[in-house]
């Protein structure tokens, strides 16, 4: 295989795993592009690679969004679509991708100023949606998401050039210590874990149920965890976690009776739009990695309300 030396974040080559220092800023333009977060919050995000904001959405807003994603996850017209990913070993819905295009309510959420301005501030530019999804994590059946850096996948499989994207997870149910909350490694965003194993074609069909390539090696994970620890995000519905595209994260299976439903939006900078994937891989479908519309999002003038 020929390897381009110009790739700062080489991964899934025929070499072993490696740890590469981050070459990109975490907060762009000094965090001055918008003023949704305080200086202290921007510092926390810069240091940890994530920030939790509590009580962002009201109970009514959360209830309305939760009803919506529950409805989508049992609507036959939705569950038969490719966007609906099933749990490994069952037909329960694990994720619904491109959910901002399948639901008007989620579309409004994706343009809510309470999310957009945080993304604009951190990424120092206008932003567009690279990916969106609802993760259902149903009680008893919801399986884990093994440790990964989203950027590792987006760089290799989607051709995302730089670490200038972030995810926000809007909690639609309480996330407690029992229902498989998101776990993050503080500080891990500063190191890129180059993974072993070449990517099979159409990898996404398998990886979105259970990932096997782009999986960091145990030694690197141990190092990151020993350096920064592991933080689990236990918080009330209506809270939002923003995390950098390279922050190491995962979550355990949900063997509790309580579902853990979250909506994710991935905002990418308009200066970081996708190139072709690495190594001649076929681009993933648009519902997983948007490469057809890089238009900057317009924040909604009137944020979502429960009646909307």
Minimum CB–partner distance for residue 283 and Fe ion (Å): 19
211 binds, among Fe ion, ligand 6CS, none (CB under 5 to 8 A by kind): ligand 6CS
| Beta carbon nearer to ligand 6CS, 66 or 265 | 265
**Which CB sits closer to ligand 6CS, 98 or 133?**
133
Q: Give least dist CB 2 to Fe ion, A.
A: 29
Task: Choose the binding region for Fe ion from 54-62, 147-155, 225-233, 296-304 (rule: CB under 5 A).
Answer: 147-155
Residue 269, φ and ψ in degrees, nearest 5? -70, 145
Q: List Cβ<8 Å contacts ≥24 apart for 224-227.
A: 224/185, 224/187, 224/188, 224/191, 224/193, 224/248, 225/185, 227/187, 227/188
Pattern 120-139, binding to ligand 6CS, x per CB under 6 A?
Answer: -----------x-x------
Q: Which has the closest alpha carbon to 247: 176, 161, 173, 182?
A: 182
Question: H-helix or E-strand containing 263?
Answer: strand 262-269
Q: Does 148 bind ligand 6CS (CB under 6 A)?
A: yes
Name residue 194's beta-bridge partners.
18
**Of positions 150, 152, 157, 158, contacts Fe ion by CB under 5 A:** 150
Single residue of 48, 87, 150, 244 touching ligand 6CS by CB under 6 A? 150
Number of residues that bind ligand 6CS (CB under 6 A): 9
Write out the binding residues for ligand 6CS, residues 152-181 only, by CB under 6 A.
153
247: how many CB neighbours lie within 10 A of its CB? 27
Q: What distance in Å separates the CA atoms of residue 188 and residue 231, rounded to the nearest whole number?
A: 12
Q: Which does 153 bind (CB under 5 to 8 A by kind): ligand 6CS, Fe ion, none?
A: ligand 6CS
With contact defined as beta carbons under 8 Å apart, do 139 and 257 qualify?
yes
Pick what 36 binds: ligand 6CS, Fe ion, none; C-beta below 5 to 8 Å, kind-dependent: none
Q: Give the shortest CB-144-to-Fe ion separation in angstroms.
A: 12
Q: How far apart are CA 55 and CA 176, in angstroms?
A: 15
Q: Which is nearer to ligand 6CS, 52 or 156 (CB)?
A: 156
- Minimum distance from residue 145 beta carbon to Fe ion (Å): 6
Query: Does residue 100 touch ligand 6CS according to CB under 6 A?
Result: no
Q: What is the DSSP letter of 172?
A: S
Contact with ligand 6CS (CB under 6 A) among 145, 147, 213, 243 = 145
Report if residue 211 touches ligand 6CS, rule: CB under 6 A: yes
From the number of C-beta atoms within 10 Å of its C-beta (0-12, 13-18, 19+), residue 77 rates as exposed
The token pair at 257 is: 């009776």
Q: Is 251 helix (H, G, I), strand (E, B) or coil?
A: strand
Closest by alpha carbon to 305, among 140, 132, 35, 59?
A: 59
Number of helices (H), then strands (E), in the chain: 9, 13
Distance CA 136, CA 146 (A): 16
Residue among 293 and 298 whose Cβ is closer to ligand 6CS: 293
* CB of 211 vs ligand 6CS, minimal distance in Å: 6
Q: How far is the CB of 80 from Fe ion (least distance, A)?
A: 25
Question: What residues make contact with ligand 6CS under the rule CB under 6 A?
Answer: 131, 133, 145, 148, 150, 153, 207, 211, 288
Question: What residues make contact with Fe ion under the rule CB under 5 A?
Answer: 150
């Amino acid at each position: 295989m020929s390897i381009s030396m110009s790739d700062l974040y080489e991964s899934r080559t025929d070499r072993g795993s490696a740890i590469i220092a981050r070459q990109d800023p975490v907060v762009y333009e000094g965090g001055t592009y918008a003023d949704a977060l305080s200086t202290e919050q921007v510092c926390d995000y810069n240091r940890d690679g994530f920030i939790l904001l509590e009580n962002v959405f009201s109970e009514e807003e959360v209830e309305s969004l939760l009803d919506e994603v529950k409805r989508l996850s049992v609507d036959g017209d939705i569950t038969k679509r490719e966007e609906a990913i099933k749990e490994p070993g069952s037909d329960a819905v694990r994720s619904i991708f491109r959910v901002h295009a399948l639901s008007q309510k989620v579309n409004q959420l994706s343009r809510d100023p309470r999310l957009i301005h945080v993304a604009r501030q951190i990424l120092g530019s206008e932003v567009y949606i690279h990916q969106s999804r609802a993760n259902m994590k149903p009680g008893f059946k919801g399986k884990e998401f093994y440790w990964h850096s989203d950027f590792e996948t987006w760089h290799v499989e989607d051709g995302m050039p730089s670490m200038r994207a972030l995810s926000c997870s809007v909690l639609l149910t309480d996330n407690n210590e029992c229902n498989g909350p998101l776990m993050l490694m503080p500080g891990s965003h500063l190191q890129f874990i180059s993974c072993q194993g070449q990517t099979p074609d159409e990898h996404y069909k398998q990886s979105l149920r259970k990932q096997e390539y782009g999986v960091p090696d145990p030694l690197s994970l141990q190092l990151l965890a020993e350096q920064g620890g592991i933080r689990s995000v236990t918080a009330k519905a209506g809270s939002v976690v923003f995390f950098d595209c390279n922050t190491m994260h995962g979550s355990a299976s949900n063997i509790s009776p309580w579902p853990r439903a979250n909506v994710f939006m991935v905002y990418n900078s308009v200066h970081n739009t996708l190139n072709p994937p690495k190594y001649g891989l076929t681009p993933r479908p648009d519902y997983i990695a948007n490469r057809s519309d890089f238009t900057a999002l317009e924040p909604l003038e009137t944020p979502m309300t429960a009646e909307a």
